[in-house]
Amino acid sequence: MARRRSIQSRNDPARQFAFETGILPLLGVSEDTHTSLASYQALPGDQEIIRLFELFRRRVQPFHLITYDLDKVEEKICRLVNARSGPDSGSSDDACWLCLLHAILAAGAQFSDMGLEDRIAVTQRHTKQAFDLLRSTDYLARPSKEAVQTLLLLGNVLQNDMKPQAAWVLGGTTIRLAQCLGLHRRIGRPPTSPMPDEETRLAIVWQDSLLALTFGRPPASYEMDFEEDLPRLDDARADGHGLSYLQAMSWLCHAALRHLSSQSDVSGQLLSTLNDIKAIEDSLSPHLIDPKRSKTIPQIQEHYAFELHRHFVISTLCRPCVSSSGAVELGENDKAMILEQFQESLRKSARAYIRLRSIAGHAKRSWAFIHNGLTSVLLLSLMRETRYLPETRTLQDELISSLSEGEVEPYPSTDTGPVGHLSDTLQKALKALKTLRTLAERDASGQDLEAVSSTNRAMPDSRDVRPETIEGTGTGTADQASFWNNPADWNFPADFDLSPLGAFDYIMSDQNLGDEFFLSNML
């Protein structure tokens, strides 16, 4: 039986205030009519708006499938600037447009040349304004396409603010709003008409599939994934131009999502997915195949960005089959092929990240780029087949040096975020990488690297075996084993699977969220 609200509670100002300011905002329902005006007045000066918008256009937009027409955004910014210079400087813009603008300014600020402390402050200020405006529009009760686009942008902002778990959670809301708008239903349109719905779906699949791969969680965007939204591979090959960077990334995310949604055996589906990715590679634009065929600096950056994402996806999809449990279903030839593909993709992903950082300074601000490059080198450092190879040691040195240079400023002392420009999880991964490099150097001093490399190349017992002293090498690899045997440093549970892949999953989990919430369940 429903409990009737008492007259006393109805007339209690404190209860009413708590309901309006505490409960309604959580539901996206608010009667705050001053939020839009306050947010308009909180906009920076014209020069700052233009500067952050241009940074967004140059450094963010090229690497993400942003659905909003930037020319239309620029047109509205021009109207805004002109309106503020007139006698009536009041807001003539609606809250939906303003929340999108604040999200764009937040993303632009993240890739600006401001100092770390100022960059964080500006980004968080615009992020808060965007969320406040979303709340004022009752975006959950009255969803709009502008709200979906804003949430997609804010998802990227949260990632680059080193809060990828928050972005993953927010992505669920974004997908539900898109479904409320009917974006999961594909409607046929003439080829010449604009297709904003298709672009929105592609952006949702892009964001959701890559985060799902990272966290080893089921994607939520299956209903948004239509191959018909993508350019035909045959047409891309036939016209000689090939797939652009954004088109290639959309195809890659489509292949990954289809793999994750498959109910067939993991090993058989993996081989099929690798063939699908090979078909995408055969349809790429020339500069995405060979950086020497690039004619502009952005094309070189696109080459290494796609190389990084492509090989991260391949290595992540291969991981379940490289584990001891996943390899049981494979024949010997498939085992060898997948292990080789796994290791090669890790190397190519790591090299692409290091190269990208050298030609695109803003790559240092992207959580996805940092995560994919760092985890690739960490896996190479953990696996027995690759940890002692000279190339792995070179990648370790270059990555550690790259991550350590430049942005060494601490977060503001009043900020509760991680120290430095990396999240807690990525800092933990970097610490593990430095430890493994030190131990590998110590091991190498007592043994011949070539002999160890050939000895450890035997596949059946080299994937998920706890490190141990190799006969005839004295205490060399026992030093490497100390990485796993020091619970004071790593807090490994006593009953945890301390295989290389198991240790990797534990290092990359976020223990601040409790239990094993973000522990990968792909293995």
How large is the average pLDDT for residues 459-467? 42
- State the pLDDT confidence band at 392, using cuts at 50, 70 and 90: very high
How large is the average pLDDT for residues 41-49? 88
How large is the average pLDDT for residues 201-220? 94
pLDDT of residue 238: 83
- Lowest-confidence range among 68-72, 170-174, 352-356? 68-72
pLDDT of residue 67: 64
pLDDT of residue 88: 58
Structure tokens at 190: 């003439």
C-alpha distances in Å from residue 47, one per residue of 18, 51, 221: 39, 6, 38
Across the strands, what pairs with 243? Answer: 284
Of the chain, the percentage scoring pLDDT greater than 70 comes to 71
Tens digit of pLDDT for each residue in 380-389?
A: 999 988 989 9
Contact criterion met (CB below 8 Å) for 243 and 285: yes
pLDDT of residue 489: 56
CA 476 – CA 42 distance, rounded (Å):
61
pLDDT of residue 468: 40
Nearest to 174 by CA among 213, 134, 214: 134
- State the pLDDT confidence band at 473, using cuts at 50, 70 and 90: very low
* Whole-prediction pTM: 0.81
- Lowest-confidence range among 18-22, 45-49, 207-211, 303-307? 18-22
Structure tokens at 38: 């306050």
Nearest to 272 by CA among 191, 210, 334: 334
Calculate helix-pair angle for 367-382, 145-160, nearest 10 degrees.
50
Q: DSSP per residue over 103-168, as a string?
A: HHHHHHHHTSSS-HHHHHHHHHHHHHHHHHHHHHTTTTTS--HHHHHHHHHHHHHHHHTT-HHHHH
Mean pLDDT, the chain, rounded, equals 79
Tens digit of pLDDT for each residue in 254-279?
A: 999 999 887 566 667 888 999 999 99
- State the pLDDT confidence band at 517, using cuts at 50, 70 and 90: very low
CA 232 – CA 183 distance, rounded (Å):
21
Torsion angle of the four alpha carbons 150, 155, 158, 159, in this order, in degrees rounded to the nearest 10: -150
pLDDT of residue 3: 45
Position with higher pLDDT, 408 vs 451:
451
Tens digit of pLDDT for each residue in 79-104?
A: 998 888 766 555 556 888 899 999 99
Nearest to 130 by CA among 45, 47, 208, 43: 43
Contact criterion met (CB below 8 Å) for 224 and 204: yes
Contact criterion met (CB below 8 Å) for 53 and 107: no
Tens digit of pLDDT for each residue in 98-127?
A: 999 999 999 999 999 999 899 999 999 999
Position with higher pLDDT, 411 vs 37:
37
Tens digit of pLDDT for each residue in 306-341?
A: 999 999 999 999 998 887 666 656 778 888 899 999
How large is the average pLDDT for residues 5-19? 49
Tens digit of pLDDT for each residue in 133-151?
A: 999 989 999 999 999 999 9
Of the chain, the percentage scoring pLDDT greater than 90 comes to 49
